[in-house]
Amino acid sequence: MPALDRPATALIADDEEPMRDQLRARLATVWPELVIVAEAAHGVDAVALAGRHKPDIAFLDIRMPGMGGIEAARHLYDRCHIVFATAYDRYALDAFEQGAIDYLLKPVTADRLATTCERLRRRLAQTPQDIGTQLARLNALLQGDAPRRNYLRWIQAQVGGGLRMVNTREVLFFQSDDKYTRVQTATAELLIRKTLKELADELDPDEFWRIHRSTLVRVDAIAQVTRDLRGRQMLKVRNYPQELEVSRNHAHLFHQM
Amino acid sequence: MKERLSVRFEVPDFLGSAPFPPMMLQTLIENAIKHGLEPKIAGGAIVVRGYVVGSTLHVDVCDNGVGIDLHAGDGIGLANIRERLALLYGADAELVIETPPGGGACASIRIPYKMMEES
């Protein structure tokens, strides 16, 4: 991008109209020559409008419906300078500090905006930096608090015409019946077609333990394990009368201290 | 978000004074906005319905959003409601979550309802 002999142009993307208005107003004060060529309410629009208007700068809100700011930036960073606007707290902001990525904390103060604009003015003479790697890392940081989030958290059971959604926190245990798997909660018993094997693969292994070929029990729901007269380990579930047998193969889970 | 959201209440007058635990409705509406409607570009609608079936008061919060991500945690919100319902009503109350065939999500709180409480 050669040094500009025309006023710089910018796009503003934020799903909240008052936020766009505020940023536009503040920009008009700290950088009166800057021309706002387009405004978008989500990432898809931002990318399309940036294609049409070719702004020098894109102010992108991180959290927008459909396509967020980071995803939009991945489409745009080789064509314009990116500044993120975010309402994330201090902790998450550390993620931004590490890279060449510029950001504004919402609500945007005039002081902070002036600093950012000053930096942008200097950068406008240069080609936008390649921030692809930083964006990917930032995305991963903001997305995932943990790998745990990919475990199955909701069980779907057909009830009447609709689908009943049972959160795994409600489930006391799963037990395989002939054709179905029984889902037992404190208040309801539901049947689903997913097999115990499938459930065991998809559920968080720290949340549910296999105690028998036909039983998966929620660890938090276990009240106690005792031995019956025949020496079998029997598991008692909190708030539920039925005891569950622990098979010999899984007895190691409950070895005495 | 405001311009993409519509909220409608369908609660008959006689239920206007029915006792209902505080803050539960808030949580359900927040959930509907945050998980159901905010991710949806077109926005959407929330309908809050109150009605009585037999001796049970149903309060439903339904949205026409993106539905429920099977891998997204329940958060503290719903777990909290469930816990409080159990404390207040034991086994007589429940929180039921459903996804209707047309899409979106419905959360329904069901608590015991006594008619003519004051008289």
For B98, the closest of A150, A163, A167 (CB atoms) is A163
**In chain B, what residues touch A166 (CB-CB under 8 Å)?**
97
Cβ distance A167 to B74 less than 8 Å, yes or no, reads yes
pLDDT band at residue A147 under the 50/70/90 scheme:
very low
What is the distance between the alpha carbons of residues A159 and A165, in angstroms, rounded to a whole number? 10
Distance from CA of B29 to the nearest CA of A (A): 17
- Amino acid, single-letter form, for residue A121: R
Cβ distance B82 to A170 less than 8 Å, yes or no, reads yes
Task: Assess B1–A contact: CB distance below 8 Å, yes or no.
Answer: yes
pLDDT > 70 fraction of chain A, expressed in percent and rounded = 90
Encode pLDDT of B38-91 as tens digits.
Answer: 888 888 999 999 999 999 999 999 999 999 888 887 667 898 899 899 999 988
What is the distance between the alpha carbons of residues A52 and B113, in angstroms, rounded to a whole number? 59
ipTM of the shown complex:
0.81
Question: What distance lies between CA A20 and its chain's CA centroid?
Answer: 24
List, in order, residues 6 or more apart from A13 with CB less than 8 Å away.
A39, A40, A41, A42, A43, A45, A46, A58, A59, A60, A61, A64, A69, A72
pLDDT band at residue A149 under the 50/70/90 scheme:
low
Determine the pLDDT at residue A3. Answer: 55
Determine the pLDDT at residue A137. Answer: 78
Determine the pLDDT at residue A87. Answer: 78
**In chain B, what residues touch A42 (CB-CB under 8 Å)?**
41
Cβ distance B94 to A159 less than 8 Å, yes or no, reads no
Q: Read off the pTM.
A: 0.63
CA atoms within a 13 Å half-sphere pointing along the CA-CB vector of A98 = 12
Cβ distance B41 to A65 less than 8 Å, yes or no, reads yes
Contact B59, B48 (CB under 8 A): yes
Identify the residue among A20, A167, A204 best suited for mutation to test binding to B, counting B beta carbons within 10 A and taking the highest. A167
Task: Assess B100–A contact: CB distance below 8 Å, yes or no.
Answer: yes
**In chain B, what residues touch A44 (CB-CB under 8 Å)?**
41
Task: Assess B40–A contact: CB distance below 8 Å, yes or no.
Answer: yes
Residue in chain B nearest A204 by alpha carbon: B71
Q: Which of the residue ranges A137-141, A203-207, B59-63, B86-90 has the most confident prediction, judged by mean pLDDT?
A: B59-63
Residues of A contacting chain B (CB within 8 angstroms) = 15-17, 42, 44, 65-66, 149-154, 156, 159, 161-170, 186-188
Identify the residue among B71, B89, B106, B110 best suited for mutation to test binding to A, counting A beta carbons within 10 A and taking the highest. B71
Encode pLDDT of A46-73 as tens digits.
Answer: 999 999 999 999 999 988 888 889 889 9
Encode pLDDT of A4-22 as tens digits.
Answer: 778 999 999 999 898 999 9
Q: Buried b / exposed e across B88-104, counting CB within 10 Å, b at 16+?
A: eeeeebbbbbbbeeeeb
What is the distance between the alpha carbons of residues A257 and A85, in angstroms, rounded to a whole number? 53
Cβ distance A153 to B71 less than 8 Å, yes or no, reads yes
Identify the residue among B31, B56, B82, B110 best suited for mutation to test binding to A, counting A beta carbons within 10 A and taking the highest. B82
What is the distance between the alpha carbons of residues B79 and A233, in angstroms, rounded to a whole number? 31
Task: Burial-class residue B8 by CB neighbours within 10 Å (0-12, 13-18, 19+).
Answer: exposed
Determine the pLDDT at residue A100. Answer: 60
What is the distance between the alpha carbons of residues B32 and B46, in angstroms, rounded to a whole number? 7
In this model, does residue A118 exceed pLDDT 50? Answer: yes
